[in-house]
Amino acid sequence: MSAANAVPAPARTLAREQVYWQMLDWIVEGTLGPGEVLRDAAIAGKLGVSRTPVREALRRLEDEGLVQTAVNRWTRVAPLNLAQAAELYPVVGTLEDLALGLAAPRLTAADLDELDTLNVQISRALEAGDARAAVRADAAFHGVWTRRSGNAELQGALGALKRKLQRVELAYFDVPGSARASVLEHAAVVDALRAHDEVAARHALRQNWQGSLDRLIRHAPRRPPSADLP
């Protein structure tokens, strides 16, 4: 190994990644709300870094559609877009259907128990009115077969798309009956997997994604999806 290869990566590289993931978390979780103006100096001060990694993170988030910029005017968190969400749901559902098909022969009894446990966590979070806990448990539930699919490219694609959907799910968490209906749909998926009926499990999963989209479209437009423009 050459001396150049032995030199550790600059701390700036680590800072850039840390800044990106922190800002991504703030946007997805709603700490930085839709339409909120982003000032790189203020964010840099908050995170204790220079403005350079913040600007790099903002460019990356803009490429992913989570940040918008008007040159020399403003940079802001992208408003929620229900039309985009309506396009994303069937794409994510199709990719998850593929993941479940790949994972089904690999799922163990422990995996199925984990799915049951996570679905209970979703239900309890709903009873407590804890939107973030419910959405996180839901992501973990779907993540079981995504992880067990053994396909890293599929996992990466789903992760990126689902981050966009998570913003919508948190913002419209109070859509009447939506999350509770998902708990029942999740149970149907697990029951089919326990019965070793992959066809029924995948059908139940597709119904879950279609049902979630239908409920969002039916109820969510009654509520303004984004903050006022800066």
75 in Cβ contact with 124 (< 8 Å):
no
| Range in 183-187, 215-219, 222-226 the model is least confident about | 222-226
For 16-70, the pLDDT digits (tens) are 889 999 999 999 888 898 899 999 999 999 999 999 999 999 999 999 889 999 8
pLDDT at 221: 56
Question: Residue 69: beta bridge partners?
Answer: 75
Q: CA nearest 192: which of 183, 180, 184, 202? A: 202
In the DSSP assignment, the letter for residue 81 is -
pLDDT at 13: 61
Q: How far apart are CA 93 and CA 88, in angstroms?
A: 8
pLDDT at 223: 47
Q: How far apart are CA 123 and CA 39, in angstroms?
A: 38
Domains of the chain as residue ranges with CATH: 3-77 (1.10.10.10), 82-222 (1.20.120.530)
Q: How far apart are CA 198 and CA 76, in angstroms?
A: 44
Question: What angle in degrees, to the nearest 10, is found between the helix axes of 152-171 and 131-148?
Answer: 160
pLDDT-derived band at 83 (thresholds 50, 70, 90) equals confident
pLDDT at 3: 39
The amino acid occupying position 49 is V
Tell me if residue 108 falls in helix, strand or coil.
coil
